[in-house]
Amino acid sequence: MSGYSKIEWTDTTWNPITGCTKVSEGCQNCYAERMAKRLAGRFGYPEKPDQFDVTVHPDKFNEPLSWRKARRVFVCSMGDLFHPDVPFEVIHTLWGIMEESHRRNGSIFQVLTKRPDRMQEFVLAYLAQRRPINGPYYEVLDCIWLGCSVENQARADERLSMLLSTQAAIRFVSVEPMLGPIDLRHVQTSEFEIDALRGRSYEKLDWVIVGGESGPGARPMHPDWVRDVRDQCIDAGVPFFFKQWGEYRPSKDGLGWYRAGKSTAGRLLDGREWNEFPE
């Protein structure tokens, strides 16, 4: 599926690849899997019981080339572009389409993965192919933003160093669903600590998105977890985007939460929306 999106931090979704497999706690109540089950046998999704198998959709590849105006495009909202079942040859083709689309209509592509190790491997190979014969310069495509999903401190420690050591014009993190407190200033690797917001030891994050979980089985997000990440971003001068509370909203005293439903819970944090984007 593709088209204008209700996801607050993008304009359009583009799904040349659909399907995924669960890799961590944040995958437990995957919205994309629920939607794929509803769409089984339609819109290119396989019939049950394999509707969320990783599937390549060649008929969707060239969609961005037909757009007339610039869009922010969430790539593979219904899957993970860097799933191991997606060949690098396919990703290479899609990278070229993104670059050509940017030349034609100015679109920006937002690639989000839970597999930054494979993303890093691909980007290194892709940039090496583009290296000028007589120099070490690697051209980073400014139309492709690279992001990583994390849901708690353990996953931030596991994934962010790989994202931050991958060449990109914009690097971002999506903390959704947020399942625990996260300190982006103190990300632990096996060897040392990273300040992901200021770029000490590694490159830094250019954008932070936070959101709670919605749908059946949604888990609550403590308001203080969100406020802490927001304050970390303000202090470091990193754009912060609050997507939603999810199923639970803060209690009136601001110290807890109660189940209200996604639409009622909304996306106000301390009385305002946070809609910051990187330059």
pLDDT score of 2 more than 70: no
- Tell which wins on pLDDT, 194 or 139: 194
The pLDDT tens digits of the residues spanning 176-195 come to: 999 999 999 999 998 889 99
Go through the chain and tell me how many residues it has: 279
User: Residue 219's pLDDT is what?
Assistant: 96
User: Residue 230's pLDDT is what?
Assistant: 98
- Yes or no: say if 185 and 218 are a contact pair by the CB < 8 Å rule: no
- What is the Cα–Cα distance from 34 to 236, expressed in whole angstroms? 37
User: What does pTM read for this prediction?
Assistant: 0.94
Q: What is the overall mean pLDDT for the chain?
A: 92
Provide the strand spans (E) within the chain: 3-4, 12-14, 17-18, 55-56, 72-75, 108-113, 144-150, 170-175, 187-188, 193-194, 207-211, 240-244, 248-250, 257-259
Mean pLDDT value across residues 110-130: 94
Q: Where are the domains of the chain?
A: 1-138, 151-279
Helices 116-130 & 153-164 angle (0-180, nearest 10):
10
